[in-house]
Amino acid sequence: MEQISRRRFLALAGGGVALALAACRPKPQPPVSTTTTPPPTALAYRMDPNYGSDAVACPDGSCVACFACQAHAANRILPSAEPARAHPGCKCLVVPDPSITLEAYATLFQNPGNNPTGGAVDRRWQWVAQVLSG
């Protein structure tokens, strides 16, 4: 059996202790942000009737909507990406609506007393305008 000197033993033990302490060191925490963040938005959607000018979304250019779609798109808020179309054959693109907060979304779509159909709502309806005004 080989003997090790006291100096070698202390060096090995010290190295092991240093390695253990390095492994137990706390991880650095990200800095705390002092800026205010905007209120979170829900996944409400709206119709985009003018995406026909987008060559990727509408390669043949036939996606510009009719007058009915133009009128509905400005005011319609959809609870999901499954759109309530303005009319049969509607080609509007359904896109997220970041202007609807989580609180407004819950009031508009998750309370059956407010929205008996549970479907799309119109910004021009008095109760919807009240919810959106806060």
Domain residue extents for the chain: 45-133
pLDDT: which is higher, 25 or 104 = 104
CA 44 to CA 94: how far, in whole Å?
A: 10
Burial of 69 (0-12, 13-18, 19+ CB in 10 A): buried
Confidence of residue 8 (pLDDT cuts 50, 70, 90): confident
65 against 98, higher pLDDT: 98
Taking the C-alpha atoms of residue 105 and residue 79, their distance in angstroms, rounded to an integer, is 8
Residue 83: name the closest of 93, 74, 75 by CA: 93
**CB of 52 closer than 8 Å to CB of 58:** yes
* pLDDT of 50 higher than 60: yes
Specify the pLDDT at position 33: 56
CB 74: neighbour CB atoms within 10 A? 13
